[in-house]
């Protein structure tokens, strides 16, 4: 915190329930996650962190913290965008009042190249990024888009329209998880090769 020049940190999250190289493997690290969680709880008790949460946690990883921790995770930050939403996890999080944050809401930018979304974007007079943002908001998730462009940032925040229930149902049926040149990226590939 001295390096950051801060007296407290707003929110700190555990990046992943397991080592990134083991991300797609079966093993769970319940004891390690709990130890990390208890350290975060102590930092909250000491007033050093306001809010704590997790990232890339599945239902069982969250259950481990809910069963054995003192403080409930405020958020679970997970990969989610049109075509790739972990709906079971979304339901579980809602049931336990844990806010889902959707990272890579444009599939690392690759989703923006999907031509199949044009019929719906034309209908609402919006762009694919705007549709992607609105879709996640209507699923009660908080999208975390990244951009280097101030114009894109403003554009992505302009989501003052409502996707109809019928179109939400259609969008939920879209499958898209081809990350093109980013497929080998550890976030999606699960290896550091
Ligand atoms: N917790 C985790 O494990 C985890 C993993 C991965 C990512 N994340 C976080 O999630 C955030 C976003 O993820 P991400 O960078 O992987 O992917 P993303 O937000 O899905 O996509 C970013 C790409 O979309 C482009 N873009 C954004 N707005 C646009 C617009 N209006 N029009 C055209 N292109 C647009 C950006 O290019 P421009 O710069 O040209 O706009 C960039 O190439 C990051 O802040 C990252 O820290 C977390």
**Confidence band, pLDDT 50/70/90 cuts, at residue 190:** very low
- 158 Cα–ligand 1 center, Å: 16
With b for 16 or more beta-carbon neighbours within 10 A and e for fewer, the 32-67 pattern comes to: ebeebbeebbebbeeeebeebbbbbbebebbebbee
Give per-residue pLDDT as tens, 103-149.
Answer: 999 998 888 888 889 999 999 999 999 999 999 999 999 999 999 99
H helix runs in the chain, sequence order:
30-45, 59-68, 87-95, 118-124, 128-138, 150-156, 165-173, 186-189
Atom number, ligand 1, closest to the C-alpha of residue 156: 31
Give per-residue pLDDT as tens, 11-51.
Answer: 999 999 998 877 777 889 999 999 999 999 999 999 999 99
Closest CA to 134 of 158, 115, 152, 113: 158
Output 184 or 110, whichever has higher pLDDT.
110
Ligand 1 contact, 172 CB (< 6 A): no
9-187: CATH, from 3.30.1360.200, 3.30.470.10, 3.40.50.2300, 3.20.20.100: 3.20.20.100
3-class SS of residue 44: helix
The reported pTM is: 0.93
3-class SS of residue 106: coil
Give φ, ψ of 180 to 5 degrees: 50, -125
Ligand 1 contact, 132 CB (< 6 A): no
Closest CA to 135 of 88, 76, 85, 178: 85
- Domain range summary for the chain, segments of one domain joined by +: 9-187
CA-to-CA distance for 128 and 106, rounded, in angstroms? 9
């Amino acid at each position: 915190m001295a390096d950051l020049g801060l007296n407290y940190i707003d929110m700190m999250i555990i990046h992943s329930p397991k080592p990134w190289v083991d991300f797609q493997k079966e093993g769970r690290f319940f004891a390690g996650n709990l130890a990390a969680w208890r350290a975060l709880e102590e930092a909250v008790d000491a007033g050093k962190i306001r809010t704590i949460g997790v990232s890339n946690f599945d239902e069982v990883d969250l259950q481990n913290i809910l069963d054995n921790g003192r403080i409930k995770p405020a958020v679970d930050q997970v990969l989610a965008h049109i075509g790739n939403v972990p709906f079971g996890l979304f339901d579980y999080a809602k049931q336990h009042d844990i806010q889902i944050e959707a990272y890579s809401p444009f599939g690392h930018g690759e989703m923006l190249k999907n031509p199949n979304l044009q019929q719906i974007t034309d209908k609402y007079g919006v762009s694919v990024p705007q549709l992607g943002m609105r879709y996640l908001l209507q699923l009660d998730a908080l999208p975390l888009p990244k951009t280097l462009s101030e114009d894109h940032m403003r554009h992505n925040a302009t989501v003052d329209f409502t996707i109809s229930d019928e179109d939400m149902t259609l969008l939920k049926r879209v499958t898209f998880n081809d990350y093109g040149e980013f497929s080998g990226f550890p976030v999606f590939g699960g290896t550091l090769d």
